[in-house]
Amino acid sequence: MKLLYYIFSIPARLKGMKIGKGSTIGPFYDFLFNDFSNVILGKKVNIGAHAYINPIKNKKTKPKIMIEDGTNIGRYSTLSCVKEINIGKNCLIGYNVSFLDHDHELYDMKKTPVTNGLTDGEKIIIENDCFIGAHSFILKGVNLGKRCIVGANSVVTKSFPAYSVIAGNPAKLLKKLKNK
């Protein structure tokens, strides 16, 4: 099985992705039009099948995606950035979770939504030991402190400090975990 996952990662490696020892990428991830030179996976990172990894270069930005050691990202997840997405060590990301550090420009009424383009984006930072439930959205400018828990189906539009338990649309603080 490890050999099979290594084979799946070859196209990403050829496009410049830096993949740490023991890391795997599941089959059928989207890589066709992307430059992965600023995508870095630490050691023992696992990304599930059908992931959409999308560093979007434009004239103003040089996108960067960093996933640190021991993190697991579920299948059908999306990492789309024009600026930066940084996911810390030992995080568990459920399936079908989307990280989007940008919006679509929709204000020029002379253009269509397709031709309007994207905003410059705001960095997303997920600190170490976080858990993000399935079907959640982490949006531009969000910083989740160490050991945050995000309930399934949440839309996170703002930052939360370490040890927060959050859920909802938009996500709200439910409680704070005690650091023992």
Q: Please spell the DSSP secondary structure of 13-30, one letter per residue.
A: HHTT-EE-TT-EE-TT-B
Instruction: Please give the model's pTM, rounded to 2 decimal places.
Output: 0.91
- Per-residue pLDDT, 6: 74
Residue 176 near residue 157 (C-beta atoms within 8 A): no
How far is CA 9 from each of CA 14, 23, 24, 145, rounded to the nearest angstrom? 9, 9, 7, 30
Q: How far is CA 163 from CA 124, 129, 133, 138, 154, in A?
A: 17, 10, 15, 17, 17
pLDDT of 32: 56
Domains and CATH numbers, the chain: 1-174 (2.160.10.10)
Cis peptide before 161 (omega within 30 of 0): no
The Cα 142–Cα 164 span in angstroms is: 13
Decide if 74 contacts 94 (C-beta within 8 A).
yes
Closest CA to 49 of 27, 82, 79, 81: 27
DSSP conformational letter for 145 = P
Given this model, what pLDDT does residue 180 score? 64
> What is the pLDDT, as a whole number, of residue 134?
98
Reported as a pLDDT band with limits 50, 70 and 90, residue 124 is very high
Counting Cα atoms < 13 Å in the Cβ hemisphere of 58 gives 12
Average pLDDT of the segment spanning 126-133: 99
Q: How far apart are CA 22 and CA 178, in angstroms?
A: 33
Which tens digit of pLDDT belongs to each residue from 7-60?
A: 777 777 778 889 999 998 888 777 656 778 899 999 999 999 999 998 988 777
Task: Report which DSSP code applies to 59.
Answer: S
- For residue 104, what pLDDT band results from cuts at 50, 70 and 90? confident
The yes-or-no verdict on residue 96 having pLDDT over 90 is: yes
Q: Do 82 and 64 touch, CB atoms closer than 8 A?
A: no
